[in-house]
């Protein structure tokens, strides 16, 4: 409240913010992006020599032989777009061209804020590049609409999509569940964040699920001088709110989860204001 925001879902392999904020039916813009290349055959140049198959031009197994038409066929999912077929074919019967690899979708939530999502096309392998394009588009929308704050839902892991998501951020919120495995994963994410030198804080989700795990996390935070923004306990209201597509603060504004989230939000607001002064 009081901050014009844009929500950005960079979990492009499994986006769900548009569902959570009921934005699916209110589209502003949708377009394809080309962040990868694939090989294509130029049939008129092919002389049916089968050299591409016999000499194993493709080490990824993307070239097969069509016995009926005596031409190579390309498995677009297996193809890595490396261009070896184009390089080795004496007849220059192959080309490597950009292909649609994902979609960027600009929507409006029923709560009257923008939701921008990206989603990879089946078989596309460049989710990191798609996240980069998604971030660029979100920045353009924010500038055009004079909205200073992007709230970005990041992808899991520490791979290319996470690195693309982290670039240029002012603050990161890491959500951890109180288990040893979750703490191990969070430690890896924190190491990446530290490489970017981005300030961050921790939220413990399902904080009362495992007392010993909660204790381990707090010891880790103290040892590493990391800020705990707050804790969200197990709450039976969450499944109901998610199923209805209603934020927990709307579903049960007086509940423990809503109250804790409000306190966490106040802390984050202070950090936003401090950052704006810099």
DSSP 8-state secondary structure symbol assigned to residue 121: P
Assess whether pLDDT exceeds 80 at residue 21. yes
Average pLDDT over residues 219-229: 96
Cα–Cα distance between 100 and 119 in angstroms, integer? 11
DSSP string, 21-42: TT-TT-EEEEEEE--EEEEEE-
Domain boundaries along the sequence of the chain: 5-35+101-277, 37-99
Q: What percent of the chain has pLDDT over 90?
A: 67
For residue 158, what pLDDT band results from cuts at 50, 70 and 90? confident
Q: Average per-residue pLDDT in the chain?
A: 91
- Written out in words, the top-level CATH class of the domain with range 37-99 is alpha beta
For residue 248, what pLDDT band results from cuts at 50, 70 and 90? confident
Cα–Cα distance between 214 and 100 in angstroms, integer? 44
- pLDDT at residue 220, rounded to an integer: 96
- pLDDT at residue 278, rounded to an integer: 62
Assess whether pLDDT exceeds 70 at residue 77. yes
User: What tokens were used for 141?
Assistant: 């929308």
User: What tokens were used for 21?
Assistant: 């904020």
- Written out in words, the top-level CATH class of the domain with range 5-35+101-277 is alpha beta
Cα–Cα distance between 131 and 10 in angstroms, integer? 6
Assess whether pLDDT exceeds 90 at residue 193. yes
For residue 183, what pLDDT band results from cuts at 50, 70 and 90? very high
- pLDDT at residue 22, rounded to an integer: 84
For residue 6, what pLDDT band results from cuts at 50, 70 and 90? very high
Which uninterrupted H or E stretch holds 176?
A: strand 172-176
- pLDDT at residue 247, rounded to an integer: 85
Which uninterrupted H or E stretch holds 174?
A: strand 172-176
């Amino acid at each position: 409240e009081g901050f014009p925001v844009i929500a950005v879902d960079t979990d492009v392999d499994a986006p769900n913010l548009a569902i959570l904020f009921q934005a699916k039916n209110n589209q502003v813009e949708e377009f394809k992006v080309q962040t990868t290349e694939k090989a294509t055959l130029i049939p008129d140049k092919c002389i049916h020599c089968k050299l591409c198959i016999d000499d194993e031009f493709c080490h990824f197994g993307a070239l097969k032989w069509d016995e009926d038409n005596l031409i190579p066929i390309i498995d677009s999912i297996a193809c890595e777009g490396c261009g070896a077929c184009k390089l080795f074919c004496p007849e220059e019967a192959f080309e490597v061209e950009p292909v649609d690899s994902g979609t960027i979708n600009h929507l409006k939530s029923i709560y009257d804020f923008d939701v921008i999502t990206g989603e990879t096309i089946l078989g596309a392998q460049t989710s990191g590049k798609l996240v980069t394009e998604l971030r660029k588009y979100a920045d353009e929308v924010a500038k055009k609409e004079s909205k200073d704050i992007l709230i970005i839902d990041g992808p899991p892991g520490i791979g290319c999509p996470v690195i693309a998501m982290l670039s240029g951020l002012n603050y990161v919120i890491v959500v951890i569940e109180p288990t040893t495995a979750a703490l191990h994963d969070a430690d890896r994410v924190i190491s990446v964040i530290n490489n970017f030198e981005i300030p961050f804080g921790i939220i413990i989700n399902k904080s009362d699920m495992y007392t010993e795990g909660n204790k381990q996390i707090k010891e880790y935070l103290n040892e590493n001088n990391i800020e705990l923004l707050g804790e969200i306990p197990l709450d039976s209201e969450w499944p109901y709110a998610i199923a209805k597509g209603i934020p927990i603060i709307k579903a049960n504004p007086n509940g423990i989860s809503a109250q804790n989230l409000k306190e966490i939000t106040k802390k984050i607001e202070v950090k936003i204001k401090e950052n704006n002064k810099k």
